[in-house]
Structure 1
Amino acid sequence: MKAVVLAAGKGTRLRPLTDDKPKGMVEVNDKPILTHCFEQLAELGVEEFIVVVGYKKEVIISHYGDSFDGIPITYSHQREQNGLAHALLTVEEHIDDDFILMLGDNIFQANLGDVVRRQREERADAAFLVEEVPWEEASRYGVCNTNPYGEITDVVEKPEDPPSNLVMTGFYTFTPAIFHACHLVQPSDRGEYEISDAVNLLIQSGRTIDVLRLKGWRVDVGYPEDREKAERLLRDEADVETTEDVEQISVEQSSAE
């Protein structure tokens, strides 16, 4: 499976961290956000990265070159940042089968593999992770409307008055059907071609959509305080792993004695 990583954004809300680099190259725990994304995707067995670049693309290309940890990288250029559906269309020529889509400004420690397995097992046209966020943060994301059975009926992109606090997290799997939907998307009130509108078209056309709740955590690194939160969570996780390793060594030594 190929993985498309969207990394063309300017990250204006992260300035001055993004004055000389794209958003995906902002470091979290001494590693660019994109490195965290690549590592997580590599654990899923991804065979190729297709990275959509734009703002200061040369920083990304010079840093990673043509591969990451032996996995080849293909770059696609989004000349104008006109929304995620627009960005996705720049990679259409490179995709001929099911693929992963990941936003290159998120750090996950979550059940990403469950999404890939579910889409494969159910032969769904799309599968993605959702999570409940504080109501005051919901307007930052694609917000999901649900029916009484808990099924998602549509997604509203960055609404001023969110209808719920259940949001898309930025990790999806799709069949190539998503490209046809992206071609049909019209500019939103924000003047962008929204991925949420493409998902809505899939829903309206009767395509099979699987939705999984996030288990674990995710941080959308949109503001400097988000970067600090991600670093804190990663440090806490590393401390837990170190403690578990020490305890395991102690058990093994006791057994040997």
Structure 2
Amino acid sequence: MDAVVLAAGEGTRLRPLTEDTPKAMVGVNGKPILTHCFEQLVDVGADQLVVVVGYKKEQIIEHYGDSFQGVPVTYTHQREPKGLAHALLTAEEYVNDEFMLMLGDNIFQANLEDVVQRHNESRADAAFLVEEVPWEEASRYGVCDTNDYGTITDVIEKPDDPPSNLVMTGFYTFTPAIFHACHLVQPSDRGEYELSDAIDLLLESGRTIDAIPLNGWRIDVGYPEDRDRAEQRLQAEKASKAETSKEV
């Protein structure tokens, strides 16, 4: 699969870390968030990295060039911050088949390969990695409803009154049908073209979406304290592995 990474955001909530740096290039444990994303995607077999850039895009392009660990990197530009569905459409011409999608402001240490495997084995049109979060945090995310079979039945973007605490984590697989849905999306109350609205159009057309529970952890780096928390988590894991290695 190809992998699309959405990395156009300015990251206003991350200031002052993003005053002179795009959100995806904020350092976490010695390397940019985007490098963490790329490493995860290469590990699960990405054939191409299609990176949607915007705010201070030159920093991203200059840093990574045209390849990452031998995997080709292609850039596409979201000229205005009009939402995730709008950003994804800028990658349409570069993706011809099923693909992975990752939001470029997340740190994952999780079972991404399970999502890819489920997508390849099932007849679903998409598969999402999902997790349960505290109820008071659910309104920060795209909230999912599922049926008894683990299939997603509804997605609501950042609801004031969440119907559940099961949320999308920022890693997905899709067929090209998502692009058609993105073209049909109308601006939300926030004035953005929401990916969750495109997903709802897929559901309304009878397409199926599998939900795969998160095994591991991920942190959405939206605020400076999230960045610090991710760094501490990675450092703790590194120390734990080093201690285990000594014991062996």
The residue type paired with residue 13 of structure 1 is R
Q: Which residue is 2:3 aligned to?
A: 3
Name the residue aligned to 2:16. Answer: 16
- The change in CA–CA distance for 1:241 and 1:141 in structure 2 (over 3 A counts) is same
Name the CA distance, whole Å, in 1 between partners of 2:91 and 2:20.
26
Corresponding position of 2:224: 224
- Structure 1 Cα separation of the partners of residues 135 and 208 of structure 2: 28
Name the residue aligned to 2:158: 158
Instruction: Tell me the TM-score normalized by structure 1.
Output: 0.94
Task: Spell out the pairing of 1:97-112 with structure 2 (5 A cutoff).
Answer: 97-112=97-112
RMSD of aligned residue pairs (Cα, Å):
1.0
The answer to whether the 8 Å contact 2:152/2:208 transfers is no
- Distance in 2, matches of 1:114 and 1:31, equals 26
Q: Does 1:56 align with 2:56?
A: yes
Q: Distance in 2 between matches of 1:41 and 1:247?
A: 31
* Partner SS state of residue 18, structure 1: coil
Which shifted more, 139-148 or 177-186?
139-148
1:29 CA displacement: 0.3
Cα offset for 1:159?
Answer: 0.9
Residue 206 of structure 1: CA displacement?
1.0
Unaligned runs of 5+ residues in structure 2 are none
Q: Which residue of 1 aligns with 2:200?
A: 200
AA matched with 1:50:
V
Alignment partner, residue 29 of structure 1: 29
Number of residue pairs the alignment of both structures matches: 248
How far does residue 149 in structure 1 lie from its aligned partner after superposition?
5.6
Structure 1 counterpart SS, 2:36:
helix
1:44-63 residue CA offsets vs partner (Å, 9 max, x unmatched): 11111000000000010111
**1:229 CA displacement:** 0.8
Identify if the C-alpha distance between structure 1 residues 115 and 107 changes in structure 2 by more than 3 Å, giving closer, same or farther.
same
User: Could you tell me how far 1:152 is from its partner in structure 2?
Assistant: 2.5
Structure 1 residue 107: Cα displacement: 0.5
For residues 56-104 of structure 1, the C-alpha deviation after alignment (integer angstroms, 9 at most, x for no partner) is: 0001011111111111100000000100000000011111100000000
Tell me how far apart the structure 2 counterparts of residues 47 and 180 of structure 1 sit (CA, whole Å): 23
What is the DSSP-based 3-state SS (H/G/I as helix, E as strand, rest coil) of the residue aligned with 1:163?
Answer: coil
Question: Within 5 Å, which residues of 2 pair with 1:1-257?
Answer: 1-147=1-147, 151-248=151-248
- Unaligned 5+ segments in structure 1 are 249-257
Aligned equivalents of 1:191 and 1:212: distance in 2? 30
Tell me the TM-score normalised to structure 2 length: 0.98
Q: Among the aligned pairs, what percent are the same residue? A: 74
